[in-house]
Structure 1
């Protein structure tokens, strides 16, 4: 079996153009690097470098084997890194649930960082209602979840408050409500309201969550936006930032005197070990909410 150090000496020598430069990059003696390359050539039965000139030049065989050597070294290093992380308790898989009323976009940077820092970690991202999240946490099928604050003390989950999410009342730019300067409760009641079928409405909206006699139910952030854009009604939109959304406008009915908002928590199974990955995710989610809530 070819040792990784031999491949590393070969790659560095090819990249640097000389054995001495490769030795400096690798922090090894020149004789060690040149010896490793010679040993690799013996093991493979091919010449990797032409040494007749001032500087060694890759042979045709060396050029053909270079990319494969890099892939082999990267795979070995990834294997060793993954094994080390598993040995200190870093999980191999993680299931994260996000309240379906939230867009996934604000969390994409966090997911990319997780892939970079813990490449062995297999992530599953779910978009669920608060009821589904609670049930799956109870069944120990979710590791971390982002959900509106749940009332009462639970016997089966831990939580950490992470911040507030804005609630906007929105409709399509071409919807009749978008053209009105003042909007009364009667105006809202005269038009179809798009709501989530979830029975657990945020406390701040509980009294006014269902205002119209004409209701269209839809689950999920993107389904909600699609129905709004199609002029099928108006509704309450959960937003972590105030960036404009194409073809959608915010309206301010008379009953809304202050910015509506709802508290969110991260929850997880009671007695679940909290690793550095869990802590990193929780802190980054808290950072996302604190940075975006009222931009």
Structure 2
């Protein structure tokens, strides 16, 4: 009877598939190997299919096992989310709220939301780190923060839930005296190839081997947006920056937009920002209050997307 299936059987099944052997799964689960083998055999009996081919040196997933593995993972993920939600409803206010914010997201909105949080929960401490690219996802995966604010669609994890916050405009810019700033009309790869591009690096291995929006063969790489903006303002090279960060420099003539068409019409790209948290970790009252406050702030923002 399928009603006799247990979550423990499914966890053992997934552990064996991921670890590659019954022995390795037993070590991961802190059980004896015979208990792991018994749990998998019981699951196979309940389902009426063979999940692993045991004829070789290591157990190999059968076609049926491969088909059912993702279903088991999905069920366990939903159960973990249910437990986390129930735990969050029963817990008190957090002592500390830890947040990692993508450096491309406007900090004034985060600051205003944190001010609202402090008024609602003055006893809650806050640890906030600002870092680029994969850093918020890495912190969530390693359980080093409760909430992450991410920009773009380059990183995904089935254990991390994303909630849309707003859309952000990114524009290609150069210093007003830079040769590219004096070029009229769309710029292609040939025109850009002669000029340095200032690029922000990912401090995590999540984007290893990948570049985002890199068009020039010559690059200078920096570890923060402030450094990138300073080098572009100094005329060292060109680059892509969020509109909210450069709107004043553009208005006052220190920077000029360049039409790097490979980055979008007129050199502009629109990307989504998200609030992220682990599905298996509950959001306590302070985290939920910050979420509500941040959504209010971005709903009223006027300089995030080009008008």
Q: Pick the TM interval, shorter chain.
A: 0.5 to 0.7
2:286 to 269, 274, 277: 277
- How do 1:1-295 and structure 2 match up within 5 A? 89-150=92-153, 154-185=157-188, 186-198=190-202, 209-240=213-244, 243-245=247-249, 247-255=254-262, 256-257=264-265, 259-290=268-299, 291-292=301-302, 293-294=304-305
* Pair 1:242–1:194, CA change in 2 (3 A): closer
* Pair 1:172–1:106, CA change in 2 (3 A): farther
Structure 1 unaligned residues grouped into runs of 5+: 1-86
How far apart are 1:103 and its partner, in Å? 4.2
* Pair 1:177–1:288, CA change in 2 (3 A): farther
How far apart are 1:157 and its partner, in Å? 1.9
Moved over 6 A (4+): none
Task: Tell me if structure 2 keeps the 8 A contact 1:182–1:253.
Answer: no
How far apart are 1:274 and its partner, in Å? 1.9
Equivalences, count: 205
* Pair 1:262–1:271, CA change in 2 (3 A): same
Per the alignment, in what secondary structure is the counterpart of residue 130 of structure 1? coil
Per the alignment, in what secondary structure is the counterpart of residue 281 of structure 2? coil
How far apart are 1:175 and its partner, in Å? 1.5
State TM-score, norm by structure 1. 0.61
Task: Tell me if structure 2 keeps the 8 A contact 1:164–1:289.
Answer: no
Which whole-Å deviations, capped at 9, do the CAs of 1:163-213 have from their partners, x for residues lacking one? 211111011122121222224222222110001122778xxxx89711111
Q: Please give the alpha-carbon distance, in whole angstroms, between the structure 2 residues aligned to 1:240 and 1:280.
A: 25
Q: Please give the alpha-carbon distance, in whole angstroms, between the structure 2 residues aligned to 1:102 and 1:122.
A: 22
Task: Tell me if structure 2 keeps the 8 A contact 1:169–1:235.
Answer: yes
Per the alignment, in what secondary structure is the counterpart of residue 277 of structure 1? helix
Which whole-Å deviations, capped at 9, do the CAs of 1:9-49 have from their partners, x for residues lacking one? xxxxxxxxxxxxxxxxxxxxxxxxxxxxxxxxxxxxxxxxx
* Pair 1:216–1:139, CA change in 2 (3 A): same
Structure 2 unaligned residues grouped into runs of 5+: 1-89
Q: Please give the alpha-carbon distance, in whole angstroms, between the structure 1 residues aligned to 2:234 and 2:123.
A: 42
Q: Please give the alpha-carbon distance, in whole angstroms, between the structure 1 residues aligned to 2:235 and 2:246.
A: 21
Structure with more contact order per residue of length (Cα contacts < 8 Å, sep ≥ 6): 2
How far apart are 1:233 and its partner, in Å? 0.6
> Whose Rg is larger?
1
* Pair 1:106–1:223, CA change in 2 (3 A): farther
* The 10-residue stretch of structure 1 (178-187 or 160-169) with the greater mean CA deviation from structure 2: 178-187
Per the alignment, in what secondary structure is the counterpart of residue 242 of structure 2? strand
